[in-house]
């Protein structure tokens, strides 16, 4: 009987912890500011005391939320047929992927960028994410990179990384106020211009 009670408590604790993480993700999606533990507790319906038992501080909760978020968006980091097809088609595919990724991850990335300087674990996670996106660019345009000597290849990779990076999409969508279709057109044009031989 004691085992059943313990299993019930464990299941309830896991449900409550999940509710707290989901509430934090919802709050991040609604606003780039980092909410306090009390706000997360209220949104999740879990007592503030319990939230503090599950997470030592807001950084611990941000780390847990990031891990959950990364799990959910992992499929968006996979591109079909990298390196295959005409360059224009590959440019269109990666641009569409980056816009969808931005729609999905922007609130969490904004929070992570705010916390990265004070939390090395979050900073490391951002570095890993950036590396994944850079590798995606390298794979998608491998035929073009393979045709270049080392220095121009590195320059092209760096330039495409900037054009297709989170900050570029964020600037076009949030600061310039472009629609997805307008941002896609700009990004396709910029990436296409870089990939055309001089």
Structure tokens at 80: 């079909």
pLDDT of 8 > 70? The answer is no
What is the reported pLDDT for 86?
A: 96
Taking the CA atoms of 174, 179, 182 and 188 in sequence, report the sign of the dihedral they define.
positive
Alpha-carbon gap, residue 62 to 117, rounded angstroms: 13
The residues, any chain, with a CB within 8 Å of residue 18's CB and separated by 6 or more, are none
What is the reported pLDDT for 32?
A: 53
Residues 48-83: tens digit of each pLDDT: 899 999 998 888 888 888 888 888 888 888 888 899
89 φ/ψ angles, rounded to the nearest 5 degrees: -70, -40
Backbone φ/ψ region at 149: left (φ over 0), alpha (ψ -120 to 50), beta: beta
Residues 153-185: tens digit of each pLDDT: 999 999 999 999 999 999 999 999 999 999 999
The residues, any chain, with a CB within 8 Å of residue 130's CB and separated by 6 or more, are 165
The residues, any chain, with a CB within 8 Å of residue 132's CB and separated by 6 or more, are 77
Structure tokens at 21: 């993480």
Residues 90-130: tens digit of each pLDDT: 999 999 999 999 998 888 888 888 878 877 877 888 898 89
pLDDT of 4 > 60? The answer is no
Q: How many CB atoms lie within 10 A of CB 153?
A: 16
Q: Tokens 């209220």 belong to which residue? A: 42
Residues 20-51: tens digit of each pLDDT: 999 988 887 776 566 788 899 999 999 989 99
Nearest to 28 by CA among 57, 60, 69, 56: 69
Alpha-carbon gap, residue 128 to 10, rounded angstroms: 32
What is the reported pLDDT for 3?
A: 56
């Amino acid at each position: 009987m004691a085992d059943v009670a313990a299993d019930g408590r464990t299941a309830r604790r896991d449900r409550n912890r999940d509710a707290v993480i989901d509430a934090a993700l919802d709050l991040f999606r609604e606003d780039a500011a980092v909410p306090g533990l009390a706000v997360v507790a209220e949104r999740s319906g879990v007592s503030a005391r319990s939230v503090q038992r599950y997470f030592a501080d807001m950084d611990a909760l941000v780390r847990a939320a990031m891990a959950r978020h990364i799990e959910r968006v992992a499929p968006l980091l996979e591109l079909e047929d990298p390196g295959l097809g005409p360059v224009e088609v590959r440019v269109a595919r990666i641009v569409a992927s980056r816009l969808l990724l931005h729609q999905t991850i922007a609130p969490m990335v904004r929070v992570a960028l705010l916390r990265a300087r004070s939390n090395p674990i979050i900073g490391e996670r951002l570095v890993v994410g950036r590396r994944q996106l850079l590798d995606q660019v390298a794979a998608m345009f491998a035929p073009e990179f393979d045709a270049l000597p080392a220095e121009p290849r590195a320059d092209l990779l760096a330039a495409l990384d900037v054009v297709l990076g989170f900050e570029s999409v964020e600037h076009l969508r949030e600061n310039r106020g472009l629609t997805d279709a307008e941002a896609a057109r700009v990004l396709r044009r910029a990436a296409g211009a870089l990939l055309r031989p001089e």
